[in-house]
Amino acid sequence: MTMSNSQDIDLAAAKQEFTFTVYTENQIGILNRIAIIFSRRKINIESLNVSPSEIEHIHRFNILITETEEVVSKLARQIEKQVEVLKVYYNTNDDIIWQEMALYKVPTDTIAEKVLVERLLREYGARVCVIRKDYTVFETTGHRQETDKLIEVLQPYGLIEFVRSARVAIIKDSEGFNRKLREFEKLEPGQDVIENEYLDRKKDVFTM
């Protein structure tokens, strides 16, 4: 727990990218509870992905920030303390495999005339999602630099729209995660969120 030598201190004090992996209940408001743990320390979330995990009722967050490990470890504990958070991990880029997905919309005529589409697809690992008379949508996945590069290439050809997803990350050293989650869900099944039947019955309800 203690830092034994000066080299460790330097490492802990240097800011770098950290990816949090957070397992939570599927509850309204938990996103806010987690987000304010960062914002109260004026830490910017650089990328955020929330989606259902492989287990029903359990959601998985990936949160990317740049900070020192010392702060990151405190954040992790403060997140894990939230009632509806099951587990928090944090990892450096060396500990994870991550991808971001990007979509690029370009005018079909220009692209067809001026770009060697085949080269593009091969060089940047891009795929074509849609081809219409007026536009074409390419898709690529990779690290930030890779998706950025394709913007540069397509920009001169009249890039119409671009979007990039948040980082999704798999932890290299996470053997048995899926099994643990399944066992957990089996032992303690989650609860369905009760839908509010009154939300759509405006006229039937007396108001003061």
Partner 1 sequence: MEIAQEDTTTLSTPKKTTTVTGSVALLEGLIAEGTETIFGYPGGAIMPIYDAIYDYKEKLNHILVRHEQGATHAAQGFARTSGKVGVVFATSGPGATNLVTGLADAQIDSTPMVCITGQVFAHLLGTDAFQETDVINITTPVTKWNYQVTDANEIPDVLAKAFYIARSGRPGPVLIDITKNAQLQLFEYSGYTPCNHVRSYRPKPIIRHEYIEQAAALINGAKKPFILFGQGVLLGKAEQEFKTFVEKTGIPAAWTILGAGAIPTDHPLNVGMLGMHGNYGPNVQTNQCDVLIAIGMRFDDRVTGRLDKYAKQAKIIHMDIDPAEIDKNVKADVPVWGDCKDTLRLLTKLVDEKVHEEWHNEFKAFEKTELEELIHKELNPETGELTMGEVINQLNILTKGNAVIVSDVGQHQMIACRYGKLNDTRLSVTSGGLGTMGFGLPAAIGAKFGAPDRTVVAVIGDGGFQMTLQELGTIMQFGVDVKILILNNQFLGMVRQWQQLFNDRRYSFVDITSPDFVKLADAYHIPGKKISEREDLASSLEEMLNCKGSFLLEVMVSKEHNVFPMVPQGCSVSEIRLK
Where do contacts with partner 1 occur on this chain (CB under 8 A)? 1-3, 24-25, 28-29, 32-33, 36, 40, 73-74, 77-78, 80-81, 83-86, 184, 188, 190, 194, 196-202, 205-208
CA separation for the pair 13, 67 (Å, rounded): 9
In angstroms, what is the minimal distance from the CB of 62 to partner 1?
18
In angstroms, what is the minimal distance from the CB of 202 to partner 1?
5
With respect to partner 1, which residue has the nearer C-beta, 4 or 145? Answer: 4
With respect to partner 1, which residue has the nearer C-beta, 11 or 116? Answer: 11
With respect to partner 1, which residue has the nearer C-beta, 163 or 199? Answer: 199
Residue 116: C-alpha distances to residues 20, 120, 123, 133 (Å): 39, 6, 11, 18
CA atoms within 13 A on the CB side of 87: 10
CA separation for the pair 202, 75 (Å, rounded): 42
In angstroms, what is the minimal distance from the CB of 43 to partner 1?
15
Q: Which residue in 201, 183, 178 sits closest to 53, CA to CA?
A: 178
Q: Which residue in 69, 77, 66 sits closest to 3, CA to CA?
A: 69
In angstroms, what is the minimal distance from the CB of 54 to partner 1?
17
